[in-house]
A and B are shown apart, each in its own frame.
Chain A
């Protein structure tokens, strides 16, 4: 199951309000005091990498460090216009803070509520004269805007379910998480060590599985909005059971995707599924029976030994090579450029078993990504945040420079091998600094 959605999350769970800013500012003060001296800061990275989009560098750093909002910034939130609520497999937020941010060039930043990192101070979003700005140590870094709310968000399905709880939204994407729990978390010690899905689920009263009819009805309503959506995206926790391994998960996606496909006359439509790695025969059914256009199975970490340590459930069920093999089979079916795999960039440096240096980690990631690219599969990276509730919650994610070097490397690989960025680009997903670079 995917982590690309989860890697960057920040959480306001349920009852947050503006007062939380004060508490989080308290958290800010607890960040390690010397981190700014130990790694290159934003300005230094911008200067060192003049060929990399400054917007993408800012995005990576904000996702790494998180944001908090001043009262003035929160005063700019219009709950009728801006997205403030979100329910997904990785985040439950129903307060009045903006869900996330957008930069002037259209780059999305995922903040999903308030979050102060453990090791580094977050950025501060402030506002003056109607301008909302990102600041650091009192200096204005860039102008930002808040994500706008889609038309369907405050409507209800005929079963009475609030549509925002069924399908969450990005500025141009509908996001469906049909299974809000994961079977690996039912087996002791099998959940992925960066994952907070079980933590989020256990702290809410949401149902584990969404109703398929609710999903279809919400999507049918959402796609009426002119000029809003360019992608319909599904992911959720692993469902290992059924007549054969993953049949339960496949059946769920087949039902949903068949229903959505019918809305488009049965044609292929801009869409992406991130699932547990299906077998060739399962992938064939998915491709032939639905309008699904692109497919992802996230390997999460590009190293066999670390995969076994960090993703023990996936590793014991499929193996690293087995997961890769299923990706190759997916390319046979969906075609080159329509299959990729996500990594939670930085977890390969986790202590004690991770790489000792960022140089080693990047070299290894790039070599492995090259191997995949030769088979037509791109690697896309997410910025890792050591989230509260995950096994890795006390770990320290890498430097900003690491993220920029990795993004540049992955972008170069895609260009060298002529792999299209379309399926996971800045509009269709927006969660990957490396695919953002593919805009030019």
Chain B
């Protein structure tokens, strides 16, 4: 079931300085992680990314995902070090037609004589902010026993 992403995650997508990565897996569960600068949030709430290499591991894994319902994850890291994890389902592969052509023409404007294999669409189903300070606070709230006890010993500020 699709979800709407938070305002923070949406802002992270909009920020040009955000580092974006896509994690996928093959049918045997072998994971694969790749940085994908083209990951973008669309107006309809789906995440899209442009795959330039037809035979890439990600492209094969995305195909396996849409065939067999294997989820994929998107990780975002903003310039101010906030991070977000979004998990979703691959719902469509654009490989031809008007919409694909619009992407292709934009890709061709870039340097490097790039081709375009597929525009993949991912429906977000789960989101979590993974920023360390936020996760630490959540952990301490939910799992107060998850800690080393030396952290609890008061520090004697007089000792050097």
Contacts and interface: CB of A to CB of B under 8 A. Distances in A.
- Is B truly associated with A? yes
B105 A148 contact: no
A227 B66 contact: no
Nearest to B94: A106
B96 A148 contact: yes
A378 to B, nearest CB: 17
B93 A106 contact: yes
A102 interface: yes
Contact of B67 (A54, A172, A228): A54
Contacts of B67: 53-55, 105, 440
Contact of B101 (A51, A105, A227, A427): A227
A228 B100 CA distance: 9
B27 A226 contact: no
A439 interface: yes
Interface in B1-46: 26-27
A2 interface: no
Contacts of A228: 96, 101
Contacts of B78: none
A440 to B, nearest CB: 5
B93 A148 contact: no
A415 B78 CA distance: 42
Contacts of B103: 227
Contacts of B96: 102, 106, 148, 171-172, 228
Nearest to B54: A427
Given A54-B67, A81-B98, A440-B64, A105 B93 contact: yes
Interface in B91-120: 91-98, 100-101, 103-105, 108, 116, 118
Contacts of B63: 105, 439-440
Contacts of A50: 68
A427 B91 CA distance: 19
B135 interface: no
A243 to B, nearest CB: 42
Contact of B27 (A51, A81, A172): A51
Contacts, number: 57
A148 B101 CA distance: 11
Interface residues of B, number: 26
Nearest to A170: B96
Nearest to B121: A104
Contact of A172 (B61, B66, B95): B95
A29 B96 CA distance: 36
Contacts of B54: 427
Contacts of A81: 98
Contact of B98 (A53, A54, A106, A148): A148
A227 B93 contact: no
Contacts of B134: none
B136 interface: no
Interface residues of A, number: 21
A145 interface: yes
A104 B60 contact: no
A251 B67 CA distance: 44
Contacts of A440: 26-27, 60-61, 63-64, 67
Contact of B104 (A51, A226, A439): A226
Interface string B55-73: 0000011011011100000
Contacts of A102: 96
Give the residue among B26, B67, B101, B105 with the most A Cβ atoms within 10 A.
Answer: B67
Contacts of A105: 63, 66-67, 92-93
Q: Which of A54, A55, A171, A226 has the most CB of B within 10 A?
A: A226
A271 B118 CA distance: 21
A71 to B, nearest CB: 24
Contacts of B105: 226-227
A233 to B, nearest CB: 15
Given A55-B67, A172-B96, A440-B60, A106 B101 contact: no
A104 B104 CA distance: 19
Given A105-B67, A226-B105, A440-B60, A148 B95 contact: no
A429 to B, nearest CB: 13
A102 B67 CA distance: 15
A228 B102 CA distance: 11
Q: Which of B27, B91, B96 has the most CB of A within 10 A?
A: B96
B97 A104 contact: no
A227 B104 contact: yes
19 contacts: A53-B68, A81-B98, A104-B66, A104-B93, A105-B92, A105-B93, A106-B95, A145-B97, A148-B98, A171-B96, A172-B95, A172-B96, A226-B105, A226-B108, A228-B96, A439-B60, A440-B26, A440-B27, A440-B67
Given A54-B67, A227-B100, A440-B61, 12 more contacts: A55-B66, A104-B66, A104-B91, A105-B66, A106-B94, A106-B95, A148-B97, A172-B96, A226-B108, A227-B103, A227-B116, A427-B95
